[in-house]
Amino acid sequence: MFSDLCSPAGMSEAPALNDRLRTGPAVSRMALLINPFYRKDPHGSFGKHVLTPTLALTSIAAATPLGWQVRYWDENLLKGPPPHRPFPQVVGITVHLTFARRAYELARWYRARGAKVVLGGLHVLSCPEECAPHADALALGEGVQTWPQILHDVERGCLKPRYEGSYDWHFRHDPPPERAILPRRDFLTTASLIATRGCKNRCTFCYLATRGLKMPCQRREAEDVAREFAATGEPYGVFTDNNLGANRLYLRELCRALRPLEKIWSAAVTINVTDDETLVREMALAGCTGVFVGFESLSAQNLNDVGKNTPHPQDYARRVAIFHHYGMQVNGSFVFGFDHDGPDVFERTADWIEENRLECATFHILTPYPGTPLFDDLRRQGRLLHKNWELYDTAHAVFRPLLMTPEQLDAGYSRCYRRLFTLSSIWKRRPLTLKETIPYVAMSLLYKRANRLWPLVIRHGLTHALWRPLVEVSRRRHVEFRRHLCEHPQTSQSLLVAPGV
Ligand code: B12
């Protein structure tokens, strides 16, 4: 197992596009959907990028009208630039700010050869004027309702420059994502799931606070979600919801629907779900082996400033122990660079993570996404350093923090990842029993110490095969754990291993 901080070429540079390449005529009613390449942060795990696919493209693929063929291409699977044979009539590209430039390059390439290019995604919603010159049509907001309309208009030769989809749309009636277009062996699991939409919090830094983005809280029928998960045939699922625990009654209902599947899953929840321990127990009984918790900061002042409705950080440790008690690994998400963060924040946070044995931690440098209140505030205060979106990837300081320099912020962030990825830190955070320690260590080494191996694994499509045995071991152990939990509700025996939540 290896770890180093220089990015292998495949992880830092997009594949070259051949400008001299000639393509055949466009095949009518053929659409190509692309997830563009983005540069990977060498501090984090490269394995993170092949855990599970974005739902953006499979969701719109499912809404494709009859008579159209759809192909999927994810440049992050390191198989080269997207295909051109057969040449598609329409190319749909999902755009986030970090890979906007790559999306524009791809758009230029396909448009020059006669394809109609449609751009959609979060960055199109927050910066439509920037995106417009690069596309034949923009899809703003929700895409499941606009995609069929766009394709009909292409057929009739009357494509409009802009389509708008509202998040008021009842997504519980949406067709399940079209997973058959995904290369299954290239991901740990293709079961990316979504059960709810929106969030009651309005944290000033979150993408959900983007101007013009109105995403009311909505839920899908719990039974439909369970049916969809069962149909994937995957033993492990990842909920991509912003906060699966936003509505406790619903989460309980969902857990009851998932329980008979005997599968395992992980989800992002706020720490508030531990208010009700019986709910955490329901999650465990339903197969939840890992939670991704946005702690954001251990400073109550910071949390207050950004408007996050959360228990006091002094109570976080007790609440983490509740998850552990019910056999869930905790992946804590922390943001650095808030106004009350001084240069000591990094070591303090890393100490806390080790003390509380968080199996995994994800660090982010505070990043003002365009269109959010945070972006507007920092711009007004003259604290933005530049608008090079590629560096707005939460791994680079793009603004001047109050209590340290941008260089200190960058360096502290790197130090935290380096420290948490060391063998000694992995060991300090091991579970309490030997039986659990062995799979935990295996999983941690693969996730955190194998960045030299990952490009090979990804390029050769070995991701699924590599993780599969570990996932199956986790699943079986978890089924056993659930049985134990039912029979002895009072005992604690954390025993699972869920890959990188
Ligand atoms: C899964 C996921 C990942 C996966 C896969 C990412 C990928 N691009 O392949 C992994 C784990 C690898 C990942 C990594 C990162 N991610 Co991420 N990720 C997500 C997550 C949880 C779910 C995405 C998803 O499936 N959404 C559901 C789909 C259905 O929604 P959607 O993408 O908006 O698509 C809809 C519309 O926008 C539209 N649409 C979208 N594309 C298109 C295209 C066309 C043609 C049309 C017509 C319509 C259309 O239709 C869709 C259906 O309505 C989101 C949070 C979230 N809940 O959305 C964050 C999120 C997208 N990630 C984010 C970030 C910042 C990152 C990272 C940069 C940093 C980090 N610290 O994690 C890295 C690196 C990626 C990068 N450099 O861009 C941010 C993006 C912020 C922004 N303003 O761009 C988000 C919003 C999280 C957040 N809270 O800030 N991520």
pLDDT tens digits, residue range 107-163? 999 999 999 999 999 999 999 999 999 999 999 999 999 999 999 999 999 999 999
Tell me the CA–centroid distance for residue 141 and ligand 1, in Å.
Answer: 13
- Ligand 1 binding pocket includes 361 (Cβ within 6 Å): no
Q: Give the pLDDT confidence score for residue 499 in this predicted structure.
A: 42
Query: Which among 482, 352, 360, 346 is positioned nearest to 431, based on CA atoms?
Result: 360
Q: Where are the domains of the chain?
A: 9-171, 183-487
Residue 463's H or E segment, with its range, is helix 463-487
Residue 99 CA, closest ligand 1 atom number: 78
Per CATH, the number for 183-487 is 3.80.30.20
State how far the Cα of 273 lies from the Cα of 247, in Å rounded to an integer.
9
What is the best residue among 54, 134, 218, 391 to mutate for testing ligand 1's pocket, by most ligand atoms within 8 Å of CB?
54
Tell me the CA–centroid distance for residue 96 and ligand 1, in Å.
Answer: 7
| One pLDDT digit (tens) per residue for the chain, 501 residues | 333 456 777 899 999 999 999 898 999 999 999 999 999 999 999 999 999 999 999 999 999 999 999 999 999 999 999 999 999 999 999 999 999 999 999 999 999 999 999 999 999 999 999 999 999 999 999 999 999 999 999 999 999 999 999 998 888 889 999 999 999 999 999 999 999 998 877 788 888 888 888 898 999 999 999 999 999 999 999 999 999 999 999 999 999 999 999 999 999 999 999 999 999 999 999 999 999 999 999 999 999 998 888 899 999 999 999 999 999 999 999 999 999 999 999 999 999 999 999 999 999 999 999 999 999 999 999 999 999 999 999 999 999 999 999 999 999 999 999 999 999 999 999 988 787 888 889 889 998 899 999 999 999 999 999 999 999 999 999 999 999 898 876 654 444 444 443
| Token pair recorded at residue 464 | 């699924």
Per CATH, the number for 9-171 is 3.40.50.280
- Ligand 1 binding pocket includes 101 (Cβ within 6 Å): no
What is the best residue among 71, 89, 94 to mutate for testing ligand 1's pocket, by most ligand atoms within 8 Å of CB?
94
- Ligand 1 binding pocket includes 54 (Cβ within 6 Å): yes
Residue 119 CA, closest ligand 1 atom number: 45
Tell me the CA–centroid distance for residue 373 and ligand 1, in Å.
Answer: 19
Tell me the CA–centroid distance for residue 94 and ligand 1, in Å.
Answer: 9
Q: Give the pLDDT confidence score for residue 69 in this predicted structure.
A: 97
CB atoms within 10 A of CB 323: 24
Mean pLDDT, all residues of the chain: 93
The residue nearest atom 61 of ligand 1, judged by CA position, is: 96
Q: Give the pLDDT confidence score for residue 1 in this predicted structure.
A: 36
- Ligand 1 binding pocket includes 97 (Cβ within 6 Å): yes
Q: Give the pLDDT confidence score for residue 491 in this predicted structure.
A: 53
Q: Give the pLDDT confidence score for residue 211 in this predicted structure.
A: 83
Q: Give the pLDDT confidence score for residue 489 in this predicted structure.
A: 65
- Ligand 1 binding pocket includes 139 (Cβ within 6 Å): yes
C-alpha distances out from residue 431 to 236, 263, 478, Å: 21, 22, 15
Is the whole-model pTM more than 0.85?
A: yes
State how far the Cα of 71 lies from the Cα of 34, in Å rounded to an integer.
9
The answer to whether 165 and 138 are in contact (CB under 8 A) is no
Q: Give the pLDDT confidence score for residue 486 in this predicted structure.
A: 87
State how far the Cα of 12 lies from the Cα of 451, in Å rounded to an integer.
13
What's CA 109's distance to the chain center, in Å?
28
